[in-house]
Amino acid sequence: MTLLSMVYGYAIAGVIFALPFVATWAGRIDPNAAAGTPGFRIIILPGVVLLWPLLLARMMARDPHPPEEWTGHRRASR
């Protein structure tokens, strides 16, 4: 019962965070998301509900640029 309550609490916190994030805050993390259509915002909603702690931490970092992708190809090109 305690585990189920924790899952519900996490989901409720995710929904509370996701609504304003999808409406306005997504553009703070990724400038391309600022011009997102309503369909785009609906599509990202479940992911935001699930990953809200990571997105909150990213917003608190106040870094407006997405992280640079670091793959084996990029490493080999340097």
pLDDT tens per residue, range 19-72? 999 998 888 888 788 888 999 999 999 999 999 999 998 888 876 666 677 788
pLDDT at 64: 63
| Domain edges within the chain | 2-65
pLDDT at 70: 76
DSSP for 33-56, written as a single string: GGG--HHHHHHHHHHHHHSHHHHH
* Residue 16 token pair: 């509370």
List the beta strands (DSSP E) in 1-78.
Answer: none
pLDDT at 47: 95
pLDDT at 63: 67
